[in-house]
Amino acid sequence: MLNIGVLVSGGGTNLQAIIDGTKFGKIKGEVKVVISNKENAYALERARHNNIEAVYETNENEIIRVLKENNVNLVVLAGYLKIVSPKFVNEFRNKIINIHPSLIPSFCGEGYYGEKVHQGVIDYGVKVTGATVHFVDEGADTGPIIMQEVVMVSQEDDAKSVARKVLEVEHRILNNSIKLFCENKLSIQGRRVFINE
């Protein structure tokens, strides 16, 4: 059973999906601690409702200490709106997973987060978007990709409707990626991630 630490900044629907996945045995892991850089993030409420340690912390050294204190083997960035430092990446090398609401390498990196991603999709006029789960390295949204799933963009869509469709995909592929990680079925060769079913 792996110990999972989740970093959040917002509403925590991805966190909720992870909690549900661990609660019903789909994920062989336990969420030990949820840490947010936003004191009033509803994601912290979700943690409290599930008797999970909920910590408001902005100092990254403190965040590392709390994760280590909980013997965390997997760190999940679930709507966490800060770029973690190279020091943080080193502390948890290849043990940090991020969910991004586009098909990386499109609409990602500096300034692309939340609604801005989907507005970029609408403004550019792409016909497909989606979500990406990837390992975190020193860059912004640049680590090896674990899983992606496509969402069609229709002529009736706007940023909000695309966001809704993508969020559902996020929950699904994030859960599946964490499940595979906890079952030690992911391996990395250079930039490629292999799933060893």
Question: Which one of 11-19, 53-61, 86-94, 119-127 is the stretch in contact with ligand GRF (CB under 6 A)?
Answer: 11-19
Catalytic residue list contains 171: no
| 78 makes contact with ligand GRF (CB under 6 A) | yes
| 74 makes contact with ligand GRF (CB under 6 A) | no
- The C-alpha torsion from 104 through 195 and 135 to 101, rounded to 10°, is 40
| 143 makes contact with ligand GRF (CB under 6 A) | no
Return the ∠ at Cα 31 (arms to 6 and 47), rounded to 5°. Answer: 75
188 strand-pairing partners = 193
| 121 makes contact with ligand GRF (CB under 6 A) | no
Q: Count CB atoms within 10 A of the CB of residue 128.
A: 11
CB of 106 to ligand GRF, least distance (A): 14
Instruction: Compute the residue count for the chain.
Output: 197
| 79 makes contact with ligand GRF (CB under 6 A) | yes
**Closer to ligand GRF at the Cβ: 69 or 158?**
158
| 103 makes contact with ligand GRF (CB under 6 A) | no
DSSP string, 27-96: SSEEEEEEEESSTT-HHHHHHHHTT-EEEE---HHHHHHHHHHTT-SEEEESS--SPPPHHHHHHTTT-E
DSSP 128: E
CB of 117 to ligand GRF, least distance (A): 7
**Closer to ligand GRF at the Cβ: 137 or 141?**
141
Question: Beta strands 192-195 and 186-189: pairing type?
Answer: antiparallel
Kindly tell me which residue out of 114, 140, 148, 161 binds ligand GRF, with binding defined by CB under 6 A.
114
Q: Known catalytic residues?
A: 100
Point out which residues bind ligand GRF (CB under 6 A). 8, 10-15, 43, 78-79, 99, 101, 114, 167, 170
